[in-house]
Structure 1
Amino acid sequence: MRPLRDAQLGAFTFFASALPHDVCGSNGLPLTPNSIKILGRFQILKTITHPRLCQYVDISRGKHERLVVVAEHYESSLSDFQKQGKTVSPEKVLQIAYEVLEGLDFMNKHGMVHRALSAHNVLMDCKGNIKLAKFGLYHMTDHGADVDFPIGYPSYLAPEVIAQGSFHPSDPSHDEAPLPSGPKTDVWSLGVLLFEMCAGRRLLQNIDISERLKFILTLGNCQTSWRLILCVTNYNCPCALQELPENVLELLRKCLTFHPSKRPTPAELLGDPLFNGVSCLYTPFQKVVSLFSSSLRCAHLELPEDISDLCKDDDEDYLSERAIDEVYHLWCLAGGDLEKELTNKEIIQSKPPVCTLPNFLLEDGESFGQGRDRSFLLDDTTVTLSLCQLRNRLKDVAGEAYYPLLEDEQSSLPQSNSSNELSATVTLPLIIRERDTEYQLIRIILFDRLLKAYPYKKNLVWKEARVDIPPLIRGLAWAALLGIEGDIQAKYDSIDKDTPIPTDRQIEVDIPRCHQYDELLSSPQGHIKFRRVLKAWVVSHPDLVYWQGLDSLCAPFLYLNFNNEALAYACMSAFIPKYLYNFFLKDNSHVIQEYLTVFSQMIAFHDPELSNHLNEIGFIPDLYAIPWFLTMFTHVFPLHKIFHLWDTLLLGNSSFPFCIGVAILQQLRDRLLANGFNECILLFSDLPEIDIEKCVRESINLFCWTPKSATYRQHAQPPKAAGDNGYGKTATYYSSDYQDMPKTDLSREPLALSDLKAEVSPRVSAEDLIDLCELSPGGSTKRTKASKPKIVAVDIRSVEDFSRGHISGSINIPYSTAFGPDGEVLQCPAAGALQNFRGRVIVSVSFSHCQHTAEYFAAHLVKVNFPRVCILDGGINKMKPTGLLTVPSPQI
């Protein structure tokens, strides 16, 4: 969106038509309220950006089908000329006509017409440039079908529009809806506007409304309708014609041509020789290149002739340089309330319930009750939203904050008066940070600059995303974290989304059940976009199939990129291979089973007591966790929780979902431990409230305690190309995948699914053990005395084998001293030596040919509720070639 500059934010309200409550659609579901339909159609209007059009910003839905629209607004309009009774010079008339036609032509290219053109809807900025307001009312109301009032003003409507009469779908006297108005209807309205400017007063202002309509309809019998207009309005026709230049008269003739077939379109008028002297004053509009495109985003940038113009004065209004949607978002955070503003201006008036009783008739025909409530008709008054409260809130923000440096020099900048407060805000809960006006301003500006430098500043995007992501630009931030690049629109357009395929039926059934509590996704436009994005993914991945749950995965991306299907599709296509590789195969049983087995091992690793209880009652992950992981929790959590969860998920690797799953179980831990199988089933059938912020914090902690190789899966995404880790330069232990690391002799070996299921504890690779123990050649470690190891190796070989070479720092508990030949427990290993190591990662080490003893030893520790127990993959044999084993010095 373009900057606010000298514009203001304006709001107007209207009601959508109410639907009967006892009627269902063809699918058996209740009809979608008209206000929801309007809300869905409105979204595309936010993307219509042109210098001649007022930018739409937002729409909100209230009670009783009330809608409030927020848009760019200016106090000055063409109606000011009428109020002053002044005529406009011919040169100014042509200039205004050209600018209006520019806006109309741009709308027509997007398949829209104004239909509500009038003097008070043609606004002017401080420089006198034309800005068309309310141009989207006809589009968002489905050509007036979803409201009880007509779109347009009789004095300005074209004859063919008036001839069609009014129409409402609920009216049984109308069988078919009239055809939507075309671009030529706006040309007639423009002609009337131009005539009023030349005349200095409103057309037909002293004539009754019924007489106006009769007059306009009689124009069909007059070959020169513009002459008749002059005569009927008490203007001396010859004198009036003589006063106007020929080019203005010719423009009026063309605009006020009665027959639509002979009337030109805005595009045709723009190319008319009438505007040869005007068109040269304007440069063609060039749309700003989007972030993900093959075109150069900086091609339109140029330095001013005087570099000093870039310097800002101390009194510069920095807020006005921000985008309109940013300003409105901050206005809401600063306490802005749309309904309160409209109530203060008496646009919204509440009535006692007794005054809103319906009208009813007695047998004798006598009528009682209220007549038609005029408040449900259109009140086109636009209320200006005051920004004083917002500016007062941001008065302490220094000018440097609006232009942050992206390099290390940033730390040497002078700090604002509120810098300490901002530093303290970072430590507050996320939900509080997202509602802090000043904090969000700083974060939005920073992310905006980083994303404009994407992918060059990809590493800094990752760094800042670890702090938090501003909700306003979450969609673009997620795309950057997923590594989206290139011309995504061209790729999306090349996919056939229209040819019927077998999956269409299942998609049609699933969409009406997917996050339909959300107004945007439940709208007809939301369903259409859902269908297109899902179908594009299915068609472009012929080796995969549509599984139920894919719609839930699509929902967050579609919500955040509602007006950019291509970006929603690109994000979804990048997300699935990273976290759900091969989950959507036709036969995905082996992938799912391996995933659930690793998850079971993660539960045992982090919470053995809970794992033991769930296994005892037979409540295995297969019964509850498949929807979690198949939809990455979008099936069980509402969107506002998914946003916070995925902000962190996208920073982690493919194993991070395991930690989220364990964190969810730990929030339900007390109830799970106290219940049996049936109670647990009921508990998960209606999942209790989960504290997402606590879940995120705990999942990060669990992730940091989990060795990388412990979550190794054969069916995870294969390693990426050399030199491309997919995460930018800042890929760390937190974000890099074990699968992406180069495989060596010390790497973990794949296991058959049956063998994996037989093991309670996860395996870790020898390279992981070396890294976590910080071993170095010669058997020493790199730890200082102050640091405590997070890991301890427990060597269960015999004393003789242990003395021939062992891992530095490991302890020896021979298997034969703890367990009998039949596996019976002779003494509990946890009772003595290991008790001091509780809380650390314990690695069971044995020979490779005696791996079953290491597995049994680890399983026993889990049984006695020892946490963080794992097994060294390949045993001590993997460590021998490294030269890192320690041999004790002989006793003298």
Structure 2
Amino acid sequence: MHPLRDAQLGAFTFFASALPHDVCGSNGLPLTPNSIKILGRFQILKTITHPRLCQYVDISRGKHERLVVVAEHYESSLKDFQKEGNPISLEKVLQIAYEALEGLEFMNKHGMVHRTLAPHNILMDCEGKVKLSKFGLYHMTDHGADVDFPIGYPSYLAPEVIAQGSFHRSDPSHREAPLPSGPKTDVWSLGLLLLELCVGRCLLQSINISERLKFILNLGCMDDIITVLAEEHGCLERVKELPENILALLRKCLTFNPCKRPTPAELLRDPVLEGVSCLYTPFLKPVGLFSSSLRCAQLELPDDISELCKSPPTAYRNTADGEDYLAERSIDEVYYLWCLAGGDLEKELTNKGIIQSKPPVCTLPNFLLEDGESFGQGRDRSFLLDDTTVTLSLCQLKNRLKDVAGEVYYPLLEDEQSSLPHSNSSNELSATVTLPLIIRERDTEYQLLRIVLFDRLLQAYPFKKNQVWREARVDIPPLLRGLAWAALLGVEGDIQAKYEGIDKDTPIPTDRQIEVDIPRCHQYDELLSSPQGHVKFRRVLKAWVVSHPDLVYWQGLDSLCAPFLYLNFNNEALAYACMSAFIPKYLYNFFLKDNSHVIQEYLTVFSQMIAFHDPELSNHLNEIGFIPDLYAIPWFLTMFTHVFPLHKIFHLWDTLLLGNSSFPFCIGVAILQQLRDRLLANGFNECILLFSDLPEIDIERCVRESINLFCWTPKSATYRQHAQPPKPPADNNGFSKASSYFSSDYQDLPKTDLSREPLRLSDLKAEVSPRISAEDLIDLCELSGPGHFKTPTKRTKSSKPKILALDIRSSEDFNRGHISGSVNIPYSTAFSPDGELVQCAATSTLQSFRGRVIVVISHAMKSAAMFTAHLVKVNYPRVCILDGGINKMKPTGLLTVPSPQI
């Protein structure tokens, strides 16, 4: 979007037509309200940016089908010229004609027609350039079918539009809708507007509407429409004084027969406007973030670069100098901050008298008696279109941001040494960073700072990918969440060309299931429940199915798609690209036709994670038979999108996308721990009921505890055979070593003799506690040093959990060689026949390490598994097994032998 600059934010409101409450669609579901249909169609208007069009910003849905539209606005319009009462210069007429046609042509390329051209809808910016307003009303209302008022002004409607008459779908006298208007209807409207400018007065306004319509239709019998119009309104002399090129332009615009009337594109290239067209350069749409084209291809620098350094940039002047930094931000950013600063659309419209409340008794419908007598209210005029645009005041926002330094709007990005998780953008607002996320997201100053920083980082993507990752660890501004997620997922290249190359139209067997699932997926959300949302859902899901022939559509894929589609509603290609990058990382092979082995391994590792972090809860759930197969499959198959609303998923995935494929295990454990007391107090049936309607989960607490669980989990403890294969060694996704540990998977690390070995599913299920690799043990025990084995996954000391290496071999074997610092508790002496831990000097040491990571080491894996099962049974947390036992450690040279006592 372009900067706000001298523009203003304007809002206007109208009502969608109401639907009957007792009627259902062909699928048996209630009909979609017309206001939601309009809201869905509106979204594409936000992407249509052109210097001759007023940028659409937002649409808000209120009570009783009320809609409020926010768009770029200017106070000056062609209506101001009409008030002056004098004809304007002919050069100005040609300029307005050319600029208006430019805007109309751009609309036509996007399949849209204005249909509401009128003097007050052709605005003028501070430079006197044309800005077409309300150009999307005809499109968003489905050519007027979803509202109770006609689209357009009778004085300026083309004859063919008037001949069609009014139409509404609820009217039984109309069996089928007329064809929608084409681009040529706007040419007629523009011709009338230009003629009014030339003669200096309004035409077709002084007679009543029925006579006006008759007059327009009768013009078809006239040879020279312009002369007839001039004679009718007493301005023939002024018309005769017009130059031939102006008259030629007007005659072409006011051609009665639409077949002979030119389109805006044809008129732009007509010799009549040849002298004007040479003054304008063609509009080039800015290159998007994900494209094969160069984003800086049009960048121009002065010949002498040193000229830029002679004086301080105006960007860093003090705000007292009158610099309006906010005007340089995009219009959607300004509106977003306006809302955060307390902006209320309905309040603004109410203050200007546009919205007027009535007592309920005054809004009773009318009714008819048998004799035809009518009682009650007539048609409420407030439900017709009042196209008054109210300017939204930015004073409150500017007052809120008056103390924000100018440097905040132009952050430096070259400081690569900022520590984690502290952000180099939060120096002035460091106190805000410590507040809960929901408060930070509503803080105007803080969001301005974060939006500006992320905007600059994303513009430098993928060069600044590492800094995007670092800043995302602090938080992600909601306004830029879609692009930030794409950057975190490593989306690059010409995604639009790839998406367009996928066949999304040919019927496939999955179509039926997709059609059934979409109307049930996050339909509480107005955007996703709109018909446009369903169409986009269908296209993105089908594109994924078609482009992954080795995988199949499983129920839940629609829920997985929902967050990406919501954030990238106007960019299906980016939603598809994000989804295609997300699934291999977190759900590799989950969508195989036979995914039972993948799911079973995943659930088994999850069971081990529950036992690792909360053995008491694990013991209780196993005793009552409430296994993860009964509740966790929808969690992981949809990455929690099936069980949480979108606003919670956004906060959850902000952190999930920073982690590796094992992070969902930690989220699952954190959810169970929030429900811990209720789970421990209930049996199987009660737990089933509890999870059939999941209680409210504190997502911020869940995220915080998930990170803590992740930091306590050895990386190899969540190893899965069916995880994504390792990436090429050269591909580090652009991340630094600091970020690589958190975001990379254990499978991505180079394999050595100390790496964890794969297990059969049956053997994995037989073990209560997870295994860890010898690499992890060496790292956790800080055994790396000069001359010793060094692991590439070494953590920093600040994040290193304390550990107990517990050797359960016999004393004789222990004395022949053991890990330095390990404790020896022979298996045969540790537990009584009934499974209770025997109290002795060694077990008191074990008790002192309760809560730390306990790595059980043996020469036989079966005895190690039994020992850990006993520890879990007596509620020892964070218990794991050294994969391969002591034999894995022997080649490292890190085993020590006690010195003989003298």
TM over 0.5: yes
1:759 maps to 767
Question: Who is 1:244 aligned against?
Answer: 242
| Partner Cα distance (2:800, 2:213) in 1 | 89
2:335 to 323, 328, 336: 328
CA contact (8 A) 2:416 2:467 kept: no
After superposition, residues 48-197 of structure 1 pair within 5 angstroms as 48-197=48-197
Aligned to 1:390: 397
Seen in structure 2, the aligned counterparts of structure 1 residues 882 and 780 have a Cα distance that, compared at 3 Å, is closer
Q: Is the deviation greater in 303-312 or in 770-779? A: 303-312
Per the alignment, residue 569 of structure 2 pairs with 562
Once residues 253 and 869 of structure 1 are traced to their aligned partners in structure 2, the CA distance between those partners, rounded to angstroms, is 88
Corresponding residue for residue 667 of structure 2: 660
Q: 2:864 aligns with which of 820, 831, 854?
A: 854
1:746 and 2:754 correspond: yes
Q: Is residue 810 of structure 1 aligned with residue 822 of structure 2?
A: yes
| 2:614 alignment partner AA | D
Identical-residue share of aligned pairs (%) = 85
Map 1:354-503 onto structure 2 (within 5 A).
Answer: 354-408=361-415, 422-503=429-510
Amino acid in structure 2 at the alignment position of 1:863: K
Cα-to-partner distance string for 1:422-474 (whole Å, 9 max, x where unaligned): 11000000000000000000000000000000000000000000000000000
- Alignment equivalent of 2:838, drawn from 812, 827, 836: 827
SS at match of 1:380: strand
Q: 2:40 touches 2:532 (CA, 8 Å); kept in 1?
A: yes
Deviation at residue 668 of structure 1 after TM alignment:
0.1
User: Does the CA contact (< 8 Å) of 1:124 and 1:131 recur in 2?
Assistant: yes
Which letter does structure 2 place at the counterpart of 1:776? S
- Partner residue, 1:537: 544
Structure-2 residue corresponding to 1:288:
286
Q: Aligned-pair distance for 1:275?
A: 1.1
State the one-letter code of the partner of 2:805: A
Cα separation, 2, equivalents of 1:784 and 1:639:
35
Cα distance in 2, alignment partners of residues 408 and 245 from structure 1 = 63
Return the letter of the residue paired with 1:515: H
Matched position secondary structure for 2:528? coil
Helix, strand or coil for the counterpart of 1:466?
A: helix
Give CA-to-partner distance per residue, 1:740-759, whole Å, 9 cap, x none. 00110000000000000000
CA distance in 2: counterparts of 1:749 and 1:645, whole angstroms: 32
1:692-707 mapped onto 2 (5 Å cutoff): 692-707=699-714
> What is the CA distance between 1:818 and its match in structure 2?
2.2
Q: Residue by residue, what CA displacement relative to the aligned partner does 1:45-103 show, whole Å, maximum 9, x if unpaired?
A: 00000000000000000000000000000000000011111211111111100000000
Q: Is the contact made by 1:619 and 1:680 (CA closer than 8 Å) also made in structure 2? A: yes
Contact 1:725 1:740 in 2 (8 A): no
* Cα distance in 2 between the residues matched to 1:823 and 1:33: 66
Structure 1 position 823, deviation (Å) = 8.6
Match of 2:251 among 250, 253, 260: 253
| Deviation for aligned residue 1:15 | 0.1
In structure 2, the CA distance between the partners of 1:215 and 1:832, relative to structure 1 (3 Å rule), is same
1:684 paired with 2:691, answer yes
Contact 1:797–1:814 (CA<8 Å) still a contact in 2? yes
Which residue pairs with 1:213 in the alignment? 213
SS in 1 for 2:593: coil
Shift of 1:828: 5.7
Stretch deviating more after TM superposition (395-404 or 220-229): 220-229
- Comparing 658-667 with 276-285, greater Cα deviation is found at 276-285
Structure-2 separation of matches of 1:450 and 1:887: 55
Contact persistence 1:188–1:256 (CA under 8 A) = yes
Deviation at 1:735, TM superposition (A): 1.4
Paired residue type of 1:253: R
Corresponding residue for residue 9 of structure 2 = 9
Change (3 A) 1:167 1:785: closer
In 1, the alpha carbon distance for the partners of 2:130 and 2:797 equals: 74
- Cα displacement (A) at 1:368: 1.3
- Sort the Cα spacing of 1:567 and 1:430 in 2 relative to 1 into closer, same or farther, 3 A: same
- Offset at residue 563 of structure 1 (A): 0.2
CA contact (8 A) 1:484 1:570 kept: yes
Partner SS, residue 231 of structure 1: helix
Partner Cα separation in structure 1 for residue 594 and residue 161 of structure 2: 58
CA distance in 2, matches of 1:467, 1:10: 34
Give, in whole Å, the separation in 2 of the partners of 1:378 and 1:679.
Answer: 55
1:224-244: CA deviations, max 9, x gaps? Answer: 2122111111223xx333310
Structure 2 residue aligned with 1:414: none
Closer, same or farther: CA 410–322 of 1 in aligned 2, 3 Å = farther
Matches for 1:506-585 after TM superposition, within 5 Å? 506-585=513-592
Which of residues 297, 300, 324 in structure 1 aligns to 2:298?
Answer: 300
> How do residues 310-325 of structure 1 correspond to structure 2 at under 5 angstroms?
311-312=314-315, 314-325=321-332
Is 1:270 the counterpart of 2:268? The answer is yes
CA contact (8 A) 1:224 1:257 kept: no
SS of residue in 1 equivalent to 2:740: coil
- Report the 3-state secondary structure (helix = DSSP H, G, I; strand = E; otherwise coil) of the residue aligned with 1:46: helix
SS state of the match for residue 832, structure 1? helix
Q: Which residue of 2 aligns with 1:279?
A: 277
SS at match of 1:204: coil
**Matched residue, 1:774:** 782
Distance 2:289 2:698 in 1: 34
CA distance in 1, matches of 2:796, 2:741: 21
Partners in 1 of 2:796 and 2:494 — Cα distance?
Answer: 51
The alpha-carbon distance between structure 1 residues 410 and 213, as it changes in their structure 2 partners (threshold 3 A), is farther
C-alpha change, 1:826 and 1:465, in structure 2 (3 Å) is: closer
- Alignment equivalent of 2:742, drawn from 731, 734, 747: 734
> Whole-Å Cα distance in 2 between the matches of residues 266 and 780 of structure 1?
74
Aligned counterparts of 1:231 and 1:111: Cα–Cα separation in 2 = 37
In the alignment, what sits opposite 2:422? none
Q: CA deviation at 1:819?
A: 4.5
Q: Is the 8 A contact 2:648 2:699 kept in 1?
A: yes
TM-score by length of 1: 0.97
* DSSP-derived class of the 2:655 partner: helix
Q: Partners of 1:288 and 1:179 in 2: how far apart?
A: 34
C-alpha contact 1:355 1:370 (8 A) present in aligned 2: yes
Deviations 1:474-500 (A, max 9, x none): 000000000000000000000000000
| C-alpha distance after superposition, 1:207-236 (max 9, x if no partner) | 111110010010111122122111111223
How much has 1:363 moved relative to structure 2?
Answer: 2.9
Matched residue SS, 1:105? helix
- Deviation of 1:37 (Å): 0.2
Gaps of 5+ in 1: 412-417
CA distance in 2, matches of 1:420, 1:818: 55
What CA RMSD, in Å, does the superposition of the two structures yield over aligned residues? 2.0
Are 2:633 and 1:626 aligned?
yes
In the alignment, which residue of structure 1 is the partner of 2:593? Answer: 586
Change (3 A) 1:787 1:214: closer
The whole-number CA distance in structure 1 between the counterparts of 2:800 and 2:228 is: 96
Equivalent position SS for 2:67: strand
The CA distance in 1 between the partners of 2:416 and 2:650, in whole Å, is: 32
Q: Which residue of 1 aligns with 2:877?
A: 867
Which residue of 2 is the match for residue 880 of structure 1?
A: 890
- CA offsets per residue over residues 683-710 of structure 1, 9 Å max, x none? 0000000000000000000000000000
Aligned residues of 2:780 and 2:800 also touching (Cα < 8 A): no
Q: Which amino acid aligns with 2:230?
A: L
Distance 2:329 2:417 in 1: 21
Distance 1:463 1:786, change over 3 A: closer
* Post-superposition offset of 1:832: 2.5
Contact kept? 1:254, 1:264, Cα under 8 Å: yes
Larger deviation: 630-639 or 312-321?
A: 312-321
- Which residue is equivalent to 2:421? none
Over 3 Å counting, the alpha-carbon distance change for 1:84 and 1:703 in structure 2 is same
Partner of 2:652: 645
Q: Could you tell me whether the CA contact under 8 Å between 1:93 and 1:197 is conserved in 2?
A: yes
User: Tell me, what secondary structure is at the counterpart of 1:866?
Assistant: coil
Native 8 Å contact 1:727 1:735 kept in 2:
no
Q: Distance in 1 between matches of 2:558 and 2:857?
A: 45
